[in-house]
Amino acid sequence: MLLFFTFLSLIIFADSARAAQNIIIEIPEVIYAGKNSFPLSSVARITGGNSKTRKILGGLTLFSDGRTLSRQEVLRAINQSDASDARIELYMPSYSRIESPAYEGNFTETPPEKISRSVQDLVPLIKNLSAWNGGLEISSNAPVPDGKLIDPPSITPGTGTVNLRFRDSNGKVKSLPVRLTWTQNAMIAAHNIKKGDKIRPQDLISRPMKITRPGVYASNPNEIAGFVAEKNFKQGEPVTLKDLTSSNVIKRGRQVKIIARYGPASASVDGILLEDARPGEWVRVRRVDDRRVTLQARVINENQVEVQVE
């Protein structure tokens, strides 16, 4: 599904008075491009700033290897443009995967032959926008509009409602409010677990759970086997990640994936732990590709940390 996306490349934590002057560029993890070169506007959502600067940025030519578009390529194009002095926030992963559909269109557009009036036909598209591998149910009181989905560019798993926007062949834009129900297989206590007990695979059973945000429950026993319970869990109670701690210290210098959450979007980038820590603890991390950027992040497991971008 996170990013924010290159929140860690150009993002500047500005106060609300200055944020209105920002230009935000959002590129999801999966984009649709039929060629090795294409304009930025065909794969990105560009908002903020003024129309002249947005037009300059939208017309930038990007080059790919046909399989992925790199963050560095987008930064190169921006830095060489007439808009390089603008206050820009870029949200995208290190690499966005390129799909080559049998049509030319915007990264959020659906192929005409797949458009349907059934809201359930939108499930694969929403899961793609959110990079979600769990269960998803969609409901709405209105029919799906004709045309192609153009917004939003990404959706955070757990989001309860979202407004989908479609553009038809005449350029008319219509909205469809939908309700989303997200589920995942969560680990449940197979019997009473006492505080201080080390979790074993046989202590857990799997059960579908509704979620309101990702990262609350482990999805398989191997993720938390060996962790220590920090509270008593009753039989049948979901085992939450925040109430577990690892018996093993994750050492300073370990490379991890930094996951950032920014409103309805998410992104990830490689980072390095600057301190020893256990899952659930807060720790300083540094980006691999920019030693100047240091962040406070909560350790999810030995391979992931999470930051909240306000």
Q: How many CA atoms lie within 13 A of 201 on its CB side?
A: 4
Residue listed under structure tokens 């677990």: 193
Does the pLDDT of residue 146 top 50, yes or no?
Answer: yes
Does the pLDDT of residue 13 top 70, yes or no?
Answer: no
The residues near 249 (Cβ < 8 Å, ≥ 6 apart) are: 276, 277, 278
Question: pLDDT value at position 107?
Answer: 41
Most distant CA pair in the chain: distance in Å?
63
217-255 pLDDT, tens digit per residue, is 888 888 888 888 989 999 999 999 888 877 667 888 889
Mean pLDDT of 49-56: 82
Does the domain at 7-99 match CATH 2.60.40.420? Answer given as no
Do 135 and 183 form a contact (C-beta atoms < 8 A)? yes
Question: pLDDT value at position 293?
Answer: 78
The residues near 239 (Cβ < 8 Å, ≥ 6 apart) are: 186, 187, 188, 189, 193, 199, 204, 217, 218, 224, 229, 233
User: Do 7-99 and 184-246 have matching folds?
Assistant: no
User: Which one is predicted more confidently, 150 or 280?
Assistant: 150
Does the pLDDT of residue 129 top 70, yes or no?
Answer: yes
Residue 44 pLDDT grade (very low, low, confident, very high; cuts 50, 70, 90): confident
Count of other CB atoms within 10 angstroms of residue 167: 18
Instruction: Name the average pLDDT for the chain.
Output: 79
User: Which one is predicted more confidently, 158 or 83?
Assistant: 158
Pairing of strands 173-189, 88-91: unpaired
Question: pLDDT value at position 226?
Answer: 84
Return the amino acid letter for 96. S
Nearest by Cα to 11 from 87, 93, 73, 96 = 87
**Domain segments of the chain: what residues?**
7-99, 112-183, 184-246, 255-308
User: Which one is predicted more confidently, 289 or 110?
Assistant: 289
Report CA-CA distances (Å) from 57 to 4, 54, 228, 262.
19, 5, 50, 22
Does the domain at 255-308 match CATH 2.30.30.760? Answer given as yes
CA–CA gap between residue 11 and residue 268 (Å, rounded) = 13
146 DSSP 8-state letter: S
Does the pLDDT of residue 212 top 90, yes or no?
Answer: no
The residues near 262 (Cβ < 8 Å, ≥ 6 apart) are: 3, 4, 7, 91, 309
169-202 pLDDT, tens digit per residue, is 888 899 999 999 999 999 999 999 998 898 999 9
Does the pLDDT of residue 103 top 60, yes or no?
Answer: no
Question: pLDDT value at position 183?
Answer: 92
User: Which one is predicted more confidently, 262 or 164?
Assistant: 164
DSSP for 20-35?
Answer: TT-EEEE--SEEE-SS
Return the CATH number of 184-246, one of 3.90.1210.10, 3.30.420.10, 3.40.50.720, 3.40.50.620.
3.90.1210.10
Residue 163 pLDDT grade (very low, low, confident, very high; cuts 50, 70, 90): very high
